[in-house]
Structures are given as C-alpha cells and as structure tokens.
Amino acid sequence: MMGGWTVLVAVLVAAATVGLVLRWRQGKFKGSTLVLTAEDLGAPLGERATLVQFSTEFCANCPPTWRLLGQVAAEHQGVTLVEVDAAARLDLARRLNVYATPTVLVLGPDGAVTSRASGQPRKSDVLAAVSGVLGPGVLGAGA
C-alpha cells in the first residue's frame, strides 16, 4: 500500500513541476531561425521591425496583447504591427508551429524571426525583444 502512495506522490510532483515550468515560459520570448515575407503575412514588413500576432476569434488574451503591441509599434518609428488569423492561415500557423494564441513574433527588417512568445507577454519583454532588432538605447525611445 505504501508503494502506491509513493508513486502517486511522485506523479503529482512531476506534473506540478511540468505545469510550473510551462506557466513560467508562457509569454517569454525565444529565438528562431525562420524568415517570413510580406506575401507570407499578407501585409508589408516594417522598415525596421515587424511585430506579428497570431490570433483567433475566441482568444481572450488576443485583444489586450494587440493593444500592447500597438503601443510598442506606435512608440518606435519603422515598427509595423501585423495580425494573422491563425484559423484562416492554418498553413502558416503549422509552418511556424503556432499552437496557442496569442503567439507573437518579432521580425527584423529582412523578415527574419528574431524572437517569439506564446501567451500574453509583458510590455518589458516586448520592448526587450524589439530592442534586440532595433539596437541598444531604444527602450522607451519614442517615434
């Protein structure tokens, strides 16, 4: 009987650990090696950077994420914001391994995906990812 409890406790600890790690990673930006074109996105790329948000109609975190990304784009000249409907563009979502919405990509001026985040990111994380494309000293710099 004691062996069964030990296994149960071990499984619960492992599940809790995996859950905490996944929750911690949500909204964090990670690097990538993909390149997207204006044709892929159905919109022109930004002169200096492009923020791409994959959304769905029923995504609760998509509208606030869109507003946040819009603020960041408005604060930095040459940064464009593009929304992609993941349901309408399953081909692109699958190609980019988009499994959750919102998923945010930060592209350089050449369309290279420099970082990505799944879930609702914090503004400081978005600014850090954008500054990685625009260069140092742009955090908080206006248009």
> Is 29's pLDDT higher than 70?
no
pLDDT value at residue 141: 47
> Is 24's pLDDT higher than 80?
no
Indicate the pLDDT class of residue 31, thresholds 50, 70 and 90: low
Q: How far apart are CA 117 and CA 102, in angstroms?
A: 8
pTM of this prediction?
A: 0.74
Indicate the pLDDT class of residue 142, thresholds 50, 70 and 90: very low
Rg, Å, the chain Cα set: 18
| CATH 3.40.30.10 for domain 27-134 | yes
| Domain limits, the chain | 27-134
Half-sphere exposure of 120 (CA within 13 A, CB side): 10
